[in-house]
Amino acid sequence: MNDSVYVIIPVYNEAKVIRKVVQEVLDVFPNVVCVDDGSVDNSVNEISTTEAHLVKHPINLGQGGALQTGLDFALLNPKAQYFITFDADGQHDLEDVKRMLTELKKSEYDIILGSRFLEKHSSVKVPFKKRVLLRLALWFTLFTSGLELTDTHNGLRVFNRKAAEAIDITLSNMAHASEILTIIRQKKLKYKELPVTIHYSDYSMAKGQSMFNAINIIFDLMVKGRK
Amino acid sequence: MLIKFVLLLMVFIIAIYFMIAANHTRTEAWKKILFSIFVIFMVVATISPNITNSLANAVGVGRGADLLLYMLAVAFVFVVISIYIKFQEYEQRINKLARSIAVAEAEAREKQKITNY
């Protein structure tokens, strides 16, 4: 019944965890698209051992670029109706994904966004430094896109074909999260946030965003705003 | 006055170089006009530097050399920004190219898989 669902996982040097993450997703959703963004470790071989579709970037295009490639690939199949963006480091919860998908199917929403802050229910606490950074991102989003959200840089999203066709990520770095929100507003997609749990492991924390990148993101979006 | 000769020679070389480059690329007309004015100004300013002095005085700057420096600063920022924008455009093109290569290659691999079964 999940044949029409495509899970898109951008992969960049995740050889340690990627196979386990992909296997777990494949148990629930048969269509997984792994977009390798020019990893220099063993990620590609690890993905090849699974049943996931593998799309390899010839050069590094950034996470946003990888998401767009995965979407382009998934959209080639006319049967694909639902799309999920999922992080490769295993910080997302498949139970959350199932809930979001059910919500999307029964409602008129085009896109369901995962949020770490919607409810106090999340079992794992978000580290303080991370919370400050994400709070700043919220104000910035409210200011630039006019969307009132509680968590703007969550990699977990579930959306329908209409939204998938509307999304056109041009920024190559992490600014794509804000770019998707801008697209939501411009294309008037119906959106909703659902609470999700993020499993912060030492592995995912080490891979997370630094404070400096927040400045990069703001700068990039301002330059893009000129268009 | 050797310096005048050297400067004029450089202007001449730059002008020739631009003509050749502009013929190859589709340089916009306004850029050509702007550049021609710039070349004429350089030639005039080299032959009689007093003109830049009176120009500077007219806009309230002490020396002609100072005026040139200010204009250079503005021109520099303008050039940096236009190169930055151009660079971003090229990045977009490369992104699209790399993406279509990746998707085409993935499709070919999947077809291969199916025929192997």
pLDDT higher at B53 or A221 = B53
Fold entry, domain A5-224: Spore Coat Polysaccharide Biosynthesis Protein SpsA; Chain A (3.90.550)
Q: Where are the domains of chain A?
A: 5-224
- Judged by CB atoms closer than 8 Å, whether chains meet at B94 and A76 is answered as no
Burial B31-49 (b: 16+ CB within 10 A, else e): eeeebeeeeeebeebbeee
pLDDT higher at A154 or A209 = A154
pLDDT higher at A57 or A195 = A57
Check CB contact of B102 with chain A, cutoff 8 Å: yes
The pair of structure tokens assigned to A190 is 């119906």
Which range has the worst mean pLDDT, A154-158, A191-195, B21-25, B58-62?
Answer: B21-25
The pair of structure tokens assigned to A173 is 């770095």
Distance from C-alpha of A226 to C-alpha of A224, rounded to nearest angstrom: 5
Distance from C-alpha of B114 to C-alpha of A35, rounded to nearest angstrom: 20
| Residues A158 and A111 sit within 8 Å (Cβ to Cβ) | yes
User: Which tens digits make up the pLDDT trace of A181-222?
Assistant: 888 888 889 998 898 888 877 666 665 556 666 676 676 666
- Judged by CB atoms closer than 8 Å, whether chains meet at A57 and B88 is answered as no
- Judged by CB atoms closer than 8 Å, whether chains meet at A72 and B101 is answered as no
Nearest CA in chain A to B108: A55
ipTM over 0.90: no
Q: Residue A227: pLDDT band by 50, 70, 90 thresholds?
A: very low
Distance from C-alpha of B6 to C-alpha of A175, rounded to nearest angstrom: 49
| Residues A44 and A36 sit within 8 Å (Cβ to Cβ) | yes
- A131: pLDDT strictly greater than 90: no
The whole-chain average pLDDT of chain B stands at: 87
Residue A168: which residues within 8 A CB-CB, separation 6 or more?
A: A68, A183
Q: Residue A226: pLDDT band by 50, 70, 90 thresholds?
A: very low
Distance from C-alpha of A59 to C-alpha of A72, rounded to nearest angstrom: 17
User: Which tens digits make up the pLDDT trace of B58-110?
Assistant: 998 888 889 889 999 999 999 999 999 999 889 889 999 999 999 999 999 88
- A170: pLDDT strictly greater than 50: yes
pLDDT confidence of residue A106: 92
- pTM over 0.80, yes/no: no
Residue A112: which residues within 8 A CB-CB, separation 6 or more?
A: A100, A101, A103, A104, A157, A158, A159, A191, A192, A193, A194
